[in-house]
Structure 1
Amino acid sequence: MRQQVEADPAAPQAASGPRGVRWFPRMLALAFVIVVVDQLTKFWAVSTLSDGRTLRVLGDLLSLRLLYNPGAAFSIGTDHTWLFAIIAAIAVLAIIWFAWRVRSRAWGIAFGLVLGGATTHLLDRLFRQPGFARGHVVDFIDYAGFFVGNVADVCLVLGGALIALLYLRGVALDGRRRDG
């Protein structure tokens, strides 16, 4: 005679349930798409905007112009490009470590966005001119003269904002809300 065991409502759902799904492969796929799109748009920007021209998209609010950024956001730390390569590498490894435990679609998307953005910045630092671990990031999206960025920057900001929102709402990596 079989004994029927009731599921503990406090226990995590089985791997087949929505919270049991591992989002890691999907997060990696999203990050890969971001890297490809970012690198393709940078290739386009270099081939189209290298002559110094500016293409207006939305008047003075949004335009496209090519810059090579050796520093971080707003060209901070331009003499420490090698340091940003190390920081990007550590960030990529840390994101992968945390993302392995993700069981939530929202966290998977957030980590995928940040991983894609950080990975493509790392690739720029490692493989673009002027040399290994000193490469400059290609920026070409000009936001009304306030700053110039790229697709990876957009993904990093969106992913970071989503991580902050999930944290502030008390959503754990498995998708459950924390008490308190």
Structure 2
Amino acid sequence: MMENSSTPPASEGAATPAPGSGTKRRLIYAAGILAVLALVLDQFTKRIVETSMSEGQVIDVFPPLLRWYYIKNSGAAFSMGEGYTWIFSIIQAAVLIYVAVFLVRKIRVWPWSLALGGLMGGVAGNLTDRLFRPPSFGQGHVVDFIALPNFAIFNIADMFIVCSMIGICLLLFTGRELDGSKPADKKEPGHDAGAEPRELQ
């Protein structure tokens, strides 16, 4: 006697989604969204500074801890490398492309998603200044305005870059790779020093 079943048999050729594929997409989307948010916030705050302050102006916010100090930086951090803006433009473009094309698609855990997303957004923020601000394309000066005592003057993009690099360093220091695994987790089964031999069936 044949049993009736309301569930149709699964076809042998039916495609089965890869395990974790949905999570991978969410992590990639999250990295992209964070990058866009960082870029927008960075450019928005720079626009406010440009329209409400004159270059060189200082405004006390929480003295003596925090001040707005509007300057334009043609170099890297601490104004190093002034006169070589085009080199920083190339380096930042290369970093952004490498992270976006080669690294983001490999992430499988949230810490790496947030770290790489923040890094992309920060780099994109300063790269936008270098590409589209005066004096010329690729040699634009970066707008900096956040001043702390005995420290460099920086911007929102710099904050994202620094925080992301700290996170990346911690992930690398703890041995966490882009997929969340550690090198020790990838040892081939049966090759552990303390593993007991399996019985032959």
Instruction: Verify same fold: TM over 0.5.
Output: yes
Q: Distance in 2 between matches of 1:40 and 1:64?
A: 15
- Counterpart for residue 199 of structure 2: none
- Counterpart for residue 73 of structure 2: 69
With a CA cutoff of 8 Å and minimum separation of 6, indicate the structure with the bigger relative contact order: 1
Identical amino acids, percent of aligned pairs:
36
Which letter maps to 1:123? T
Equivalent position SS for 1:133: coil
Equivalent position SS for 1:64: strand
| Runs of 5+ unmatched residues, structure 1 | 3-12
Does 2:140 align with 1:131?
Answer: no
Answer whether contact 1:35 1:117 (CA < 8 A) is retained.
yes
- Counterpart for residue 111 of structure 2: 106
Alpha-carbon deviations, 1:47-105, whole Å to 9, x = none? 12216431212212211010000000001110100111100100101111211111111
Answer whether contact 2:55 2:72 (CA < 8 A) is retained.
no
Q: Distance in 1 between matches of 2:54 and 2:120?
A: 28
The alignment's TM-score, normalised by the length of structure 1, stands at 0.87
- RMSD of aligned alpha carbons: 1.8
- Counterpart for residue 154 of structure 1: 159
Alpha-carbon deviations, 1:111-140, whole Å to 9, x = none? 011000101111110000001011000000
Which letter maps to 1:178? P
Equivalent position SS for 2:99: helix
Q: Distance in 2 between matches of 1:66 and 1:36?
A: 19
The offset of 1:17, in angstroms, is: 7.1
Q: Could you say if the C-alpha distance between residues 74 and 52 of structure 1 is closer, same or farther in structure 2, counting changes exceeding 3 Å?
A: closer
| Runs of 5+ unmatched residues, structure 2 | 1-8, 10-17, 186-201
Alpha-carbon deviations, 1:128-156, whole Å to 9, x = none? 00010110000000111421000000000
The alignment's TM-score, normalised by the length of structure 2, stands at 0.78
Which letter maps to 2:19? A
The offset of 1:23, in angstroms, is: 1.6
Alpha-carbon deviations, 1:154-178, whole Å to 9, x = none? 0000000000000111111112233
Answer whether contact 1:116 1:152 (CA < 8 A) is retained.
yes
Runs (4 or more) in structure 1 with deviation over 6 Å come to none
Answer whether contact 1:85 1:125 (CA < 8 A) is retained.
yes
Matches within 5 A, 1:9-28: 14-15=19-20, 20-28=24-32
Matches within 5 A, 1:1-180: 14-15=19-20, 20-50=24-54, 52-96=56-100, 97-179=102-184
Moved more, 135-144 or 91-100: 91-100
Q: Which structure: larger Rg?
A: 2
